[in-house]
Structure 1
Amino acid sequence: MPPAREQQAQAAIELIARRRAVKQGPRLLEALRPLDLEAGWQVQQEVTRQLGQAVGGWKASLPSAGKLVAAPIYQPTISRAAICAVPFPAGADTVAVEPELAFVLAQDLPPREQPYTQAEVDAAVGAVHAALEICASRYTDHTGLPFAELLADGIVNNGLWLGPALSAPDAAAFQLSWHIADGPAQTADARHPDGNPRAPLYWLANFLRERGVGLQAGQAVITGSYAGVLTLPMGKRTQFDYAGLARFEVEFRGQ
């Protein structure tokens, strides 16, 4: 195995060990740290190969200088249950979530030579759901880390809560409200960070096509938080309202 591949494999082994133990740790040893986005992507893909869990979805955002936002969401970490068990370190009493939309595919978008058009991607979408990305890192402190190291670890993804399908077409902005049991109602002007919630999906379909990966029917793709990160208490029911597009309630518990 070439030295670079050996380093990527060792980095993946360490990140997988933290996932399985539900423990965080310091930065990878200097010799194992990916130094650029391509190396970070390769470590991430090595994690997927060695972890052996099906990819049930993806997170994506439009690329920007120094950032490549494309990361798998593993099927065992995706939940639709009203009481959602979250793999968090022992003693955690809060969970960080991001309100998003999830595009659930009804058709495969496999690798091929010619790019996918927006119409082809739209035709592959079976439904659009309200969703909450569950956020956590395998690093004790991920703030300030080079993006390549975040990319290697799946860009702070720890799972996905998949809510109900929208009652109307997906919107770039809406009034978000949520209410934690025994607490006051809260609101936010929810806006998609890329303006068009489907734009990152179009990009991801062709990014994965070029990489020989592709998207599969049944996978859910989230494309960016509408309201940043919300911190919710474990063990308390929270009601969400996406301005009538979808209403749901969920309670997170550690596992």
Structure 2
Amino acid sequence: MSLTPEHITQAAAELAARRSSGKPGPRLPESYRPLDLEDAWQVQQAVTLALGQVVGGWKAALPSPGKLVVGPVYQPAISRAALCSVPFPVDSTPDSLKVETELAFVLARDLPAREQPYTEAEVDAAVGSVHAALEICANRYTDATGLPFPEMLADGLVNNGVWLGPELDAPESPAFELGWQAGDEPRQTVQGKHPNGHPRAPLYWLANFLRERGLGLKAGQLVITGSYAGVLTVPAGKTLRFDYAGLARFEVEFSRR
């Protein structure tokens, strides 16, 4: 049975409060726990209304059976600062956080809601720049182990912000060697590979998903489309050096807000 508008509002109020306070909590009460993807999407959108924050971008991946990978990135949680202060959830360790190595597509023009689907060429023309980026990960549950996907979707799929890095020096690639180093620790490398085959594939999907929902994309928003190396646990308080195989190199240091 679908959630009632009142239950959607209750679920959103609870998740928004946890996001604002940085204090995760248990599973939502069963009476207003989202059980399917549509309920989860409605709760997610109601969280945005409850927070009253500008949507500065989106995270997306191609949908698969039982999964709808889409979520807003709020403008206050987007940073370009070399010394980046981020809200750590209280269940995290004080000296580390989780990030995902991604690319961010920054739009130079709107892709508003309309009846006609957007072509890939139209979406490409709306992209102003492509950047290296790190998604900062955390959720609003004290224990997300085995949590049904709709409950994760309602919470924004562990998005806790995005660090926007430099513009790429060459066209984006579906695979490349990714290296990173924390302080003086040994450099680590991994063969990075985009989970959907090409980093623009989720962008094309998202443009039409939001179009169908009457939302659209706006100039200035960014879109991240999936990690090239899964989830990395990195230390706080140390300079992190990343090398996207010559596509981009950057340094950043994270600290607790």
Q: What range is the shorter-chain TM-score in?
A: over 0.9
Normalised by the size of structure 1, how large is the TM-score? 0.98
Q: 1:123 aligns with which of 122, 125, 137?
A: 125
Q: 1:168 aligns with which of 160, 167, 170?
A: 170
Larger CA deviation: 129-138 vs 16-25? 16-25
The code of the aligned residue for 1:125 comes to: V
Distance 2:37 2:192 in 1: 30
Distance 2:28 2:105 in 1: 33
1:210 aligns with 2:212: yes
Q: 1:93 aligns with which of 92, 95, 98?
A: 95
The one-character-per-residue Cα deviations of 1:69-118 (angstroms, maximum 9, x if unpaired) are 01000000000000111111356321100000000000000000000000
Distance 1:98 1:160 in 2: 9
Distance 2:34 2:89 in 1: 25
Distance 1:182 1:26 in 2: 38
The one-character-per-residue Cα deviations of 1:190-227 (angstroms, maximum 9, x if unpaired) are 00000011000000000000000100000010000000
Match of 1:63 in 2: 63
1:224 aligns with 2:234: no
Shift of 1:20: 1.1
Match of 1:147 in 2: 149
Distance 1:143 1:207 in 2: 29
Q: Percent identity?
A: 70
Match of 1:27 in 2: 27
Distance 2:59 2:105 in 1: 10
Q: Pairwise CA RMSD of aligned residues? A: 1.1
Q: List alignment gaps of at least 5 residues for structure 2.
A: none
Shift of 1:3: 6.6
- Give the 4+ runs in structure 1 shifted more than 6 A: none
The code of the aligned residue for 2:9 comes to: A
Q: Is the 8 A contact 2:239 2:251 kept in 1?
A: yes
Aligned residue pairs total: 254
Shift of 1:142: 1.4
SS at 1:67 equivalent: coil
Match of 2:104 in 1: 102
Match of 1:48 in 2: 48
SS at 2:144 equivalent: coil
Normalised by the size of structure 2, how large is the TM-score? 0.97
Q: Is the 8 A contact 2:89 2:138 kept in 1?
A: no
Shift of 1:182: 2.2
SS at 1:123 equivalent: helix
Distance 2:87 2:255 in 1: 9
Q: 2:116 aligns with which of 114, 117, 131?
A: 114
